[in-house]
Structures are given as C-alpha cells and as structure tokens.
Chain A
Amino acid sequence: MSETYLMATAGGLLIGLSSVLLLLGNGRIAGISNILWGAVSVHRPLAWRWLFLAGLLAGGALAHTVFAVPLPEASRLGTPMALLGGLVVGLGTRLGNGCTSGHGVCGLGLLSLRSLLATLCFMASGVITVYVLRHILGIGL
C-alpha cells in the first residue's frame, strides 16, 4: 500500500519535472491533448511535438523494462466502452482546451483560474460518471 503512494508521488514529481523542463527549454506547456492535436493537425508540425509523443511511449517502456515497474492489469470494460470513452475524451479536451496535464499539472502551476475551474469540472464529472456507471447502472464492477 505505502509502495503505491510512493510510486504515485515519485511519478508525479517526474511529471512535474518534465513540465518544468519543457517550459524552461522550449517555452511550451506540457499539455498532452494540445501537443497531440498540434502534432496531427498543424500544417507543418514542429518536430518537438512528435518527439515528445514518441518519448511518452518510450519512457513508459523504460519504466516497465529497465526499472521493473509492474505492468497494469488489462481493462475488462471491452471495446464499446473504449471507443465511447476515447470519443468523449477527444471531444471534451478540444472543447475545453486541455486535459489533466495541461489544465491540471501546468495550468494549476501557472495559477490560472481557467485551469483551476476546468480541473474542478473534470474531476467532478469523472467522479459522477464512475458513480453512475458503477453504482447506478452496475457497469464495470
């Protein structure tokens, strides 16, 4: 149990460190939904975006292989829920200009009121969604 907390804290520190490096070096906000959308939609995307995304996968692989972080158990929710969840996440992050990293980690770091309210909104709707799905509709437990 305490190991879970330690890993969560250490992982969070690294996420914070990465966000600081990106702002210090490139002057950029480490908001994943915006980096991803910039990489696929901008007419001439900048190389750092694609390299950041490649690093996101490679860094995860490094954690699990070299540092032996245990692999997570696969989701049992099934394909329809994956498609629905992905679609809704995509719609919402573009509409709200950010996700957990952009509004949560970076926006709160910038003491942005927009990001604070956005973070409260997605936290609350995430909690309500899980409550409705698990405890009212009985899905996913």
Chain B
Amino acid sequence: MNALLGLIGGLIFGFGLALSGMTDTNKVLGFLDITGAWQPALIFVMGSAVAVTAVAFRFVLRREQPLFDADFHLPIKRAVDGRLLFGAAVFGIGWGIYGYCPGPALTALIYGQTDSFLFVAAMLAGMAISSRLTR
C-alpha cells in the first residue's frame, strides 16, 4: 500500500504541476519578473496548495500514526541557520535562471526537450556536489 500510495501521490502531483502551468518555464519566469510584464497567476498554485495543506495537515497529524507506516517522518530540524537561508537563496537563483524547480523539471521530461534532460542531469550533479561538500 505504501508503494501504491507513492504512485498515486506522484500521479496527482504531476497532473497538478502540468495543469497549473508550473512546467512552463516562460510562465514561471514571467511570474518571477515582477518589474516586467508580470504574470501573477502562479501565485494561486502555491496559494491553493498551501490552503489545502495548512488545514488538512492539522487533522492528519492528530493521528497516532499514518495509515500505512508506523510513524510520521517529519523534518526534525527546528533551528533557522545560515545554511538553510543560503541554500534557499541559491536554489532561487537557479530557479530564476531557467524557470524550473525540481518537481516541474522532472514532469517536463515528458516533453522530450534535450535541454530539460540536461537540466535534470545538472541538478543531480549539483545535489551530489552539495551533499559531498556538507558531509
């Protein structure tokens, strides 16, 4: 069930990404371009997603355990540190350079653009370098 739920979750997430416009780099860069011809629509993607999670997570976390696992696997870090803020700022730079964040970059592989595959390969390389450096 655990694995099946992973698949169903991925299907819904990927469908949502493609529907929302997040897999369109032109729309994403237009959204980030607030001083240019700003395209504000994508604010509704995160807005409506967070509206759902902020309400539903509270009910889910009242449970002793999830349906198909013994425990909730929640982030344990609480402290805000320089590494978090620096890493997030670096991620934003990459997002602004090409217009893909990790989820849409993966879903966009279905469009068959060579540059999308290269983006994902470079992203994995960046993750590997980061993990090596911070170990």
A residues near B (Cβ < 8 Å) are 4-5, 7-30, 32-33, 36-37, 40-41, 46-64, 67, 69, 71-75, 77-79, 81-101, 103-114, 117-119, 121-131, 133-135, 140-141
Contacts and interface: CB of A to CB of B under 8 A. Distances in A.
Contact of A97 (B8, B84, B99): B84
Contacts of A57: 14, 106-107, 109-110
A125 B114 CA distance: 27
A7 B98 CA distance: 22
B10 A52 contact: yes
18 contacts: A11-B15, A21-B9, A25-B68, A32-B101, A59-B12, A63-B19, A69-B18, A72-B27, A85-B100, A91-B129, A92-B91, A93-B91, A93-B102, A93-B130, A101-B103, A106-B57, A109-B53, A119-B88
Given A96-B85, A103-B88, 12 more contacts: A20-B57, A26-B68, A46-B3, A55-B13, A56-B11, A56-B107, A75-B113, A81-B97, A86-B94, A88-B94, A92-B93, A96-B90
B68 A60 contact: no
B110 A60 contact: yes
Nearest to B132: A94
A7 to B, nearest CB: 5
Nearest to B107: A60
Given A20-B53, A36-B102, A93-B127, A84 B26 contact: no
Interface residues of B, number: 114
Contacts, number: 489
Contacts of A56: 10-11, 13-14, 17, 103, 106-107
Contacts of A28: 66, 69, 73
B119 A105 contact: no
The 5 closest A-B pairs by CB, nearest first: A90-B126, A55-B10, A11-B20, A96-B87, A109-B53
Contacts of B7: 48, 51-52, 54-55
B122 A90 contact: yes
Nearest to A86: B122
B6 A52 contact: yes
A91 B24 CA distance: 22
Contacts of B17: 11, 15, 56, 59-60
